[in-house]
Structure 1
């Protein structure tokens, strides 16, 4: 177990100062967050060296996140992520799989160590109802994916748990056995309530985590944010 040299940094829904340099700009739209609580012991083996599960009231969380991303073109993405804290107390996100339908992006990101997979994907909207779907092409197994349907509700300020799950300003990543971190600073999430209408997911179980057997503890939606990635650094 990692012994933290510092307590975890405070959670703040407002972004920190933008890093410099921050060469990669991104925009995320139509973002839907589904989250389930989990025992930190289940998540710990999946984290990069030098990090531990980040917790809220004793639980860590598994996230299934679907959105549209604009960066050197526009494409859809769905990822499974968990939450980390490093020995400097910096809270982060660890991505376990990142499904996307733009092959050049997938190949470029995989070359940097990110766990992207190339998938067929769709996102359709009928008034306040959004329907997301993915089915993997490569790597195997083909057809692995998810289907999410939600109904977007009213805007909210967000409570401490909702900020814990969404106000994440860096990622932690293992590359060739070495842990690196990179900041991602964007606008404050404009959170909305959301109702889960339907879910058929195979992605979470494929990461080595148990498939959820209950409804998510948190369902949220955010229309759009803009931000920038800073340069990666060793942990």
Structure 2
């Protein structure tokens, strides 16, 4: 699994703090951080409390040195969505408590997203949501789709079909068409189970090692010098005694 490169959250906050006027109210945003697989979805909630009249709510994506618009919502007009996210955004709630659902996420969607409240006397920003979208296993095989195993060239129809899919803005590897799935090299490889088995064995070994360390510490604490139990005293007396226990002949017999 690979992670698409994202923008750090701290530089974006610094840019926003330097470039925007004082906040006109309070904007609470959640979640602060989330990781989702490719093709998944995320709910970003913007709760707004302003001093004046709330005009609308933007959702923006950090793209230094600028901040790009993703959506705009108000209660009176039709919401607007950027072309990159068109058909993948659903709104629910009201303008002052808005939930924006982003669906069919792609690795390119990785980044920091900010709620921006627009009021009559100014604007306010949320703390931001850092989104990381992990690439699916089938996407990682993109090179083998065009060059199948053993160097066998794919049929011309497969080459054209796969190239059109990968160039399409609505391309999602987990929902291949029957024509594309029939092409050689598009079937997922079976490396998931061995990796999961190795990780499971590693976790078991680490757990046993931790239990042994804790057990040794527990025994040491039981036999500490300040508060020794009866069992420890008896053990120490029997193990540390240097008295000669060899039997001595009885001279009176």
User: Which of the five TM-score ranges fits, normalised by the shorter chain?
Assistant: under 0.3
TM-score by length of 1: 0.25
TM-score by length of 2: 0.23
Structure with more helix by fraction: 2
Question: Which protein, 1 or 2, shows the higher relative CO under an 8 Å CA cutoff with sep ≥ 6?
Answer: 1
